[in-house]
Amino acid sequence: MHALMTELFGDARYLVQGGDWGAAIGSWMAHDHSEAVAALHLNMVLLQAKDVSPKTLDELAWKARREKLAKEETGYAKEQGTRPQTLGIAMADSPVGVAAWILEKFGAWAGAPRDEQGRPDLWQAFNEDTLLTNIMLYLVEGSFITSTWIYRGRVLEGSGEFPVGSRIKVPTGVAAFPDPVFSPPPRSHARKTYNIVHWSEMAAGGHFAALEEPELLLADMRRFFAAQASSKARRWRRLVGTAGFVGVAAIGLWALTGGDRRPKNTEARHRATYPPLDVPKPVADGVWIVDSGPINAMGLALPVRMTILRLNNGDLFLHSPTPFSAEVAKAVDALGRVRHLVAPNIAHWTFLADWQRAYPDATTWAAPGLQDRAQVRASSVRFDAELGQTAPAEWADTLDQSLVPGGLALTRSGSSTGRPSLLLVDLIENLDPDKLPPIARRLMQASAATDGTTARYLRLPVRLGRADAKKAVLAIVALEPDRVIFAHGRPFDSNGAAQLKRAFGWLT
């Protein structure tokens, strides 16, 4: 297909859309010719990389449904993939046989209305001319036998999945139609292989989307391809996504003369951080912090902190993992089974790879947009799911969750005061001036990063987010937590509600 496109259009880049076999062929085109495919739109996510597996509860439930349906609905593929010639010859002189073979699939796969016994009413989903035309394409051309060989070819080529480590870099959009047999995977699972930048949950339609709901499919294609063509829109999205880090970059460059010199001995390291280091320290029921660092963040030596939360089922949730070591892992293992590794914003992910190697069965969660960043896609870090505005089923009974500027916000009950503990990332910074080198100290004080508030260079995303962002921040204040933990600086160990109100005074 790529050869045909280059023959017709030379070196011009092109768009690809596909469903069913078109989804498979289109996906392989994006895999093999990413320099030529400008964007890929699918209405069926058919292929995944060999090393991709379901992790979240939604993904595992989807896999179980697919496996159950596969036992009942893929006999045709087994026959066509192993004995295509036998089937083709049997069908060559049997118009009724061809019609039965094809119409059965229309009935099982389309979003057709069904009676009380589950039998589809094809004539409400399609008119007779459409179905007869489809059947006649096989009969008049004598193409039934050749059409089955594509299934045999897939078996011989082993093209039913991508090689280990494959990741489709081409921007991909998905129109997820409610296919009754080949149901779309959760978006989190599709993202493990594809660069998903657009996802639409379609309200109607089935496997034959272009026949059943052509206007819905066309409208989604237009939205997706138009967005890819709009470089102005992409530039704006990048501006909003990076606005909060412009100030950090400028400060880091300014401080390079001295701020990037990391301590060479234990005493110097302790002066810059919050010892004891690299050990879980209990701060509330089912909550531990692991202080570490300092790390070099664009010229600044900063302390870092991981928070460990024990879920109601006993599993551990590691928020913003810090540098890995066997000693830290041993101490963590004593607390429970590590089940979730969480990168809460687009900056706190750099130590994940080592933790993933140590805990390969843990699910790794990404902040929205993190998986699309070039540095992440070029790294060895694997993400299994994306964080949303509300807590997923995996920890909904333990933690409340929301997305705010600067990353994920989580609350957990269990304080002796009866009020929850609040876990933020970078929305509040409370760096100790005495722990910073002289130049960095002056810069951080000027930016308010030492005042237990939102640093001035991180306030822009909140203002860009306007009413929604302000609402999310004020909702955090309304929780009146007893304790507030964040990634950099001294936590609010008590009286968190009052300190939060003061911290966000600039917003009201």
Active site residues: 20, 151, 207
CB burial of 471-488 (b: ≥16 within 10 Å; e: otherwise) equals ebbeebbebebbbbbbbb
Is 288 strand, coil or helix? strand
| Dist. CA 254–CA 49, nearest whole Å | 43
Which H or E run includes 302?
A: strand 300-310
SS (H, E, C) 73-134: HCHHHHHHHHCHHHHHHHHHCCHHHHHHHHHHHHHHHCCCCECCCCCECHHHHCCHHHHHHH
CA pair distance 293, 263, nearest whole angstrom: 10
- For 196, list phi and psi in degrees, rounded to 5: -75, 120
DSSP string, 306-346: EEEEE-TTS-EEEES-----HHHHHHHHTT--EEEEEE-SS
**How many whole angstroms separate alpha carbon 405 and alpha carbon 469?**
7
Gyration radius from the chain CA atoms: 27
d(CA 4, CA 157): 21
Q: Amino acid letter at 15?
A: L
- Residue in 298, 300, 302, 299 with CA at minimum distance from that of residue 322: 302
Nearest residue to 69 via CA among 198, 153, 209, 180: 180
What is the SS3 assignment for 123-188?
HHHCCHHHHHHHHHHHHHCCCHHHHHHHHHHHHHHCCCCECCCCCEEEEEEEEECCCCCCCCCCHH
